Amino acid sequence: MTAHDHPHAAVGEGDELPGYFEILEIALRELLIEKGLVSADALRRQIEILDSRSPALGSRVVARAWVDAAFKARLLADGSAACEELGVTMYDGTKLIVLENTPEVHNLVVCTLCSCYPRPVLGLPPDWYKSRAYRSRAVRWPRSVLAEFGTNLPDDVEVRVHDSTAAMRYLVLPMRPEGTDDLDEDALAGLVTRDAMIGVTRVATPG
């Protein structure tokens, strides 16, 4: 048997035994390392990148677009390149398309096949985004789904549903709420939620 260059944690009393998929993941990871197809260091670096991503990155992008019209234009033209201006790299090689909400149009993001999600700017997807119920109903009855999140839109607002793919992800640029003219960029970023950047909610007016 080939020696491993990384330690294994012992299972102690009271520890839960790993489940089927966890065992499968460990076995596959160790096989890839053993065959020299990937190194333990490379895997650790990728995990560190994943762990560093959160909705706070997307909030920064949205807030910058709200205060900088030129940046907003670049963001809508090429989401990936504009995000990289702020140090947010598309580490997975996907193309990021940014969708602007307006008083006339509300955008909603879904992945009907699995759970493709803009992880470089939002981190891990919420459980409901991955659920079969959301994936199927968001396309067929988007207004009903939005209402379940507390988002009730007037009939004259068009709802557009965008289906993510393995190579292309979407980020919603929500409307800036009224009453925020005196807020700086950091304060604006604090208003932007993950759900607003998926499109199931709007950014609430502060106060």
**Based on the structure, what is the number of domains in the chain?**
2
Q: Is the pTM of this model over 0.75?
A: yes
- Nearest Cα neighbor of 110 from 201, 199, 203 is 199
Q: How far apart are CA 206 and CA 124, in angstroms?
A: 26
Catalytically annotated residues: 111, 114-116
Instruction: Return the structure tokens found at 21.
Output: 């998929």
Q: How far apart are CA 14 and CA 48, in angstroms?
A: 28
Beta bridge partners, 29, equal none
Q: What is the pLDDT of residues 16-67, one digit of tens each?
A: 566 665 676 667 767 776 777 666 665 565 555 555 557 999 999 999 999 9
Residues 127 and 34 in one domain: no
Question: Residue 203 falls within a domain, yes or no?
Answer: no
Residues 34 and 88 in one domain: no
Residues 101 and 146 in one domain: yes
Residues 35 and 80 in one domain: no
Question: Residue 14 falls within a domain, yes or no?
Answer: no
> Residue 40 belongs to what domain range?
20-51
In this structure, the dihedral spanned by the alpha carbons of residues 199, 204, 205 and 207, taken in order and rounded to 10 degrees, is: -160
The pLDDT assigned to 34 comes to 76
Beta strands in the chain, from DSSP E residues, in sequence order = 95-100, 105-110, 158-163, 168-173
8: left (phi over 0), alpha (psi -120 to 50) or beta: beta
